[in-house]
Amino acid sequence: MSFNLDSLTRENVKGLSPYSSARDEYVSDGSTMVFLDANENPFENGVNRYPDPQQRGLKAILAEQKGIKEKNILLGNGSDEVLDLLFRAFCEPKQDNIVTLPPTYGMYKVLSGINLVENREVLLTNDFQPNVEGILSTIDSSTKLLFICSPNNPTGNSFSTSIIEKLLTSFNGLVVIDEAYIDFSSEESWTSKLVDYPNLIVTQTLSKAYGMAGIRLGLCIASDEIIAVLNKIKPPYNVNQLTQDKAIERVLDIKGVKEEVAAILTERSNLTEAFKAVSFVETIYPTDANFILAKVDNATLRYNQLLEKGIVVRNRTTQPLCENTLRFTVGTSKENNSVITALKELSK
């Protein structure tokens, strides 16, 4: 395999150097320095200063917890910003293409539209695994990014390790593994394989297991070289001070996060058991995430009936391979009990 990051990077991006902000030059170290360089209001209120553009405090904690190096992390305003940066760094509009594997997360397609980059879709197989042959015959010399969502949204399953390895070794572009749900999974994160695959990019988020969807914090974990390219184009203050503070607080409470994840996994099995007793539930798909995809007799009918009972789930019936499916996020036991009660009433 001949991977060459330089040849994948957009011509205009190669020539850029990162914007050097006032806060890049001198980071407050708590000493008695006088900062008159950024036209800030000097009266302290907790957020009167620009935030650290490199989020050093937060990255140090994340790096330690995940067993990676700080220089292999880029943080963004949600993983959605991180994904957008990948398009802007590597995909020439109207020229390059990406490959996505539906049914999957909708943002890849949305971002391809916004960035005017062709989205080539290769359906998953019937057991929701990547179709390796189909993918390999779809990629060409203009394919820059291959998006692999594992565990996959909306199907919930993880992709086979050997299939992902095969794609990493056969494709000379960048393989983006979206691990938004990795903390609910029994599979190991691909971050431990960064040294083996120079074309591997892993994205993660604080929006799901960490319970911080409201602060918008996403991670990109990749080689030094890839992170350096992304740092050239990221907005200098893309992660605000309140987000950095809240994220540090939460990430330090890793025990609390793990307890919540464990509770969600227990609830997930309870919900799965209860679904088995519902007459109109036809298939409950295996899940490695904090949601369950289920095939029912008539998804739109059941969706509307649940809505009437004040329960909002996701109707995935229009997604390929997902006809008549509903996606249920695992809630608190009280919330899940109300779903179960509603389903039992409807199945009478």
Ligand X SMILES: *Cc1c(COP(=O)(O)O)cnc(C)c1O
List contacts with ligand X (CB under 6 A). 78-80, 105, 149, 153, 178, 180, 205, 207-208, 213, 218
- Separation CA 298–CA 114 (nearest Å): 34
Nearest alpha-carbon partner for 292 in 307, 277, 270, 311? 270
Helix, strand, coil shares of the chain, percent, nearest 5, are: 40, 15, 45
Q: Least distance from C-beta 39 to ligand X, angstroms?
A: 31
Q: Least distance from C-beta 206 to ligand X, angstroms?
A: 7
| Both structure tokens of 52 | 């650290």
Instruction: Select 9 or 115, whichever has its Cβ closest to ligand X.
Output: 115
Cβ–Cβ under 8 Å, residues 85 and 220: yes
Instruction: Please identify which residue in the block is written with the tokens 């009936």.
Output: 305
Instruction: Select 210 or 275, whichever has its Cβ closest to ligand X.
Output: 210
Instruction: Select 90 or 105, whichever has its Cβ closest to ligand X.
Output: 105
Instruction: Select 59 or 208, whichever has its Cβ closest to ligand X.
Output: 208
Q: Is the peptide bond before 151 cis (omega within 30 degrees of 0)?
A: yes
Distance of CA 305 to the CA centre of its chain: 31
Q: Least distance from C-beta 78 to ligand X, angstroms?
A: 3
What H or E segment, with its residue span, contains residue 42? Answer: none
Pairing, β 218-222 against β 200-205: antiparallel
Cβ–Cβ under 8 Å, residues 127 and 146: no
Q: Least distance from C-beta 310 to ligand X, angstroms?
A: 23
Q: Least distance from C-beta 241 to ligand X, angstroms?
A: 19
Instruction: Select 80 or 96, whichever has its Cβ closest to ligand X.
Output: 80
Q: Least distance from C-beta 171 to ligand X, angstroms?
A: 20
Q: Least distance from C-beta 314 to ligand X, angstroms?
A: 11
Q: Least distance from C-beta 168 to ligand X, angstroms?
A: 19
Instruction: Select 180 or 194, whichever has its Cβ closest to ligand X.
Output: 180
Cβ-based neighbours of 287, under 8 Å, separated by 6 or more: 151, 156, 157, 268, 272, 293
Instruction: Select 97 or 205, whichever has its Cβ closest to ligand X.
Output: 205
Q: In what order do the strands lie in the sheet with 97-100?
A: 73-76, 218-222, 200-205, 174-178, 143-149, 97-100, 118-121
Instruction: Select 78 or 102, whichever has its Cβ closest to ligand X.
Output: 78
- Separation CA 177–CA 158 (nearest Å): 11
